[in-house]
Amino acid sequence: MAEAVTAADGPIAVTGSSGYIGSWIVQDLAEQGYTVRACVRDVTQTDKVDHLLAMNDSDLPGQVELASGDLFNPGSYDDAFKDCSAVLHAGATVGYNRETPQEVYDGCFTEVEHVLESAIRGGALKRFVFTSSFAAVGHPRPEGYVFTESDWCGDNLEGYRGAWTEDNIPKNRDIAYAMAKARAERMMYEMAEKDGSFDAMAILPLHVIGPLMCANHDQGWSWQNCMKFMWLGKEYKKSRGGRMLWNNVDVRDVGRAHRLCAESTNAKNGSRYILSASDPTGELFTWQMQAKMRELFPDIAEVGGEEMDGTEPAEHTYDSPRSYCTLAIDELGLETYSIDETIKATGNSYIKLGLVPG
Ligand SMILES: NC(=O)c1ccc[n+]([C@@H]2O[C@H](COP(=O)([O-])OP(=O)(O)OC[C@H]3O[C@@H](n4cnc5c(N)ncnc54)[C@H](OP(=O)(O)O)[C@@H]3O)[C@@H](O)[C@H]2O)c1
């Protein structure tokens, strides 16, 4: 097992630093005194990087340096990763930029190998932490089943009624995404095992919500963006009738968990950590989310969401996915925000950005 990382070991690089999760990874590292190589595709794109540069003006003990790199350009991270003790790989083609399912698959799996190769070429790598997803965990199970880190998305394939095939990668974004994340995890654990000089581990977030640092974090169809529309009084449109079980985790907790993984003496090669609700209070059906959003923001005239029949939901919601971030709490020492703190901070950041009327 490779050694755990400290701020004295040199810089840490974060890919996808302009993104919602990446930005909070950078902020947490800067708070803990790290020199952070914040990797973005275009360092001149002010709407995506100004909030990162502003961290250097806020008396944090660490330092943020912008660096460039593109997943589809092998070797482009070589400079950014030089002498880095850890690479936290949060950059991905999630589909928000209207990527095709094949591009989602390639950005989340095929191209990850050369990101890892660049990290190894950096010459000081001890930890490679990959932002995987709960998509690499979930698979068809009866209602109420509690998923853990030992579940993999390829389990119980018959539940997909034949859809879980290679042929469907270019046709179905969700299959492309889940398969890619799971394969990337397996590939990097194997590479680390063979190499022996570093450990690879993964963070598996579920529904990530919490404060946005800039308007660019309001990506269409992200969970936070869906909440914005609910605060604007609109129906929740990502699932039929707005019915869904939201298994929420705070973006600040997701960011911090990446650093804790790099620093942990408990985490080892192949360790994976689900980042979801810490207990059932963070698991809410849409109509319950809606009620909480209304309660915490009483000045907002109307909060939209699920199809209702009077005061009751119009139909039953399939009770899944249930899962708790207990392992991250136990092994990494993660302390989590309460659901009220998270929803409040999400709404306040939307109001501050002028995207939801205050
Ligand atoms: N949000 C969630 O609920 C959730 C749940 C599970 C897993 N995740 C995972 O968390 C990670 C971050 O997601 P997010 O929610 O923070 O999304 P996001 O805000 O869209 O961030 C994605 C980041 O990836 C970068 N990126 C996209 N294409 C790239 C490319 N070709 N080369 C280099 N960088 C590229 C983006 O850069 P640009 O700014 O240049 O576009 C952005 O910084 C992803 O791996 C995602 O799969 C997220």
Please spell the DSSP secondary structure of 320-332, one letter per residue: --EE--HHHHHHH
* Tens-place pLDDT, residues 216-250: 999 999 999 999 999 999 999 999 999 999 999 99
**Could you read off the pLDDT tens digit of each residue along the chain, which spans 358 residues?**
778 999 999 999 999 999 999 999 999 999 999 999 999 999 999 999 999 999 999 999 999 999 999 999 999 999 999 999 999 999 999 988 789 999 999 999 999 999 999 999 999 999 999 999 999 999 989 999 999 999 999 887 765 667 888 899 999 999 999 999 999 999 999 999 999 999 999 999 999 999 999 999 999 999 999 999 999 999 999 999 999 999 999 999 999 999 999 999 999 999 999 999 999 999 999 999 999 999 999 999 999 999 999 989 999 999 999 999 999 999 999 999 999 999 999 999 999 999 999 8
Asked whether the beta carbons of 184 and 132 are under 8 A apart, the reply is yes
| For the chain, domain boundaries | 7-213+249-277+322-337
Residue nearest to atom 21 of ligand 1 (CA): 19
C-alpha of residue 98 to centroid of ligand 1, in Å: 12
Choosing from 15, 17, 21 the residue with most ligand 1 atoms within 8 A of its CB, the one to mutate for a pocket test is 21
Choosing from 41, 42, 94 the residue with most ligand 1 atoms within 8 A of its CB, the one to mutate for a pocket test is 94
C-alpha of residue 144 to centroid of ligand 1, in Å: 29
Q: Hey, what's the torsion of the CAs at 45, 48, 54, 55, to 10 degrees?
A: -130
Residue nearest to atom 47 of ligand 1 (CA): 94
Q: What is the pLDDT of residue 154?
A: 84
Please spell the DSSP secondary structure of 45-82, one letter per residue: -HHHHHHHHGGGGTT-SSEEEEEE--TTSTTTTHHHHT
* Tens-place pLDDT, residues 15-24: 999 999 999 9
Q: What is the DSSP letter of 42?
A: -
CATH architecture of 7-213+249-277+322-337: 3-Layer(aba) Sandwich (3.40)
Q: Which residues line ligand 1 (CB under 6 A)?
A: 16, 18-22, 40-41, 48, 70-72, 90-94, 96-97, 107, 131, 133, 205, 207-208, 217, 219, 222-223
CA distance 52 to 73: 23
Residue nearest to atom 1 of ligand 1 (CA): 208
Q: What is the pLDDT of residue 165?
A: 86
Ligand 1 atom nearest 71 alpha carbon: 32
C-alpha of residue 15 to centroid of ligand 1, in Å: 9
Residue nearest to atom 28 of ligand 1 (CA): 93
Question: E strands within 218-316?
Answer: 245-250, 272-275, 283-285, 308-309, 312-313
C-alpha of residue 77 to centroid of ligand 1, in Å: 16
Q: Which residue has the tokens 């879980």?
A: 164
C-alpha of residue 131 to centroid of ligand 1, in Å: 9
Ligand 1 atom nearest 134 alpha carbon: 6
Residue nearest to atom 34 of ligand 1 (CA): 91
C-alpha of residue 107 to centroid of ligand 1, in Å: 10
Asked whether the beta carbons of 114 and 123 are under 8 A apart, the reply is no
Among residues 249, 248, 218, 223, the alpha carbon closest in space to that of 236 is found at 223
Residue nearest to atom 7 of ligand 1 (CA): 133
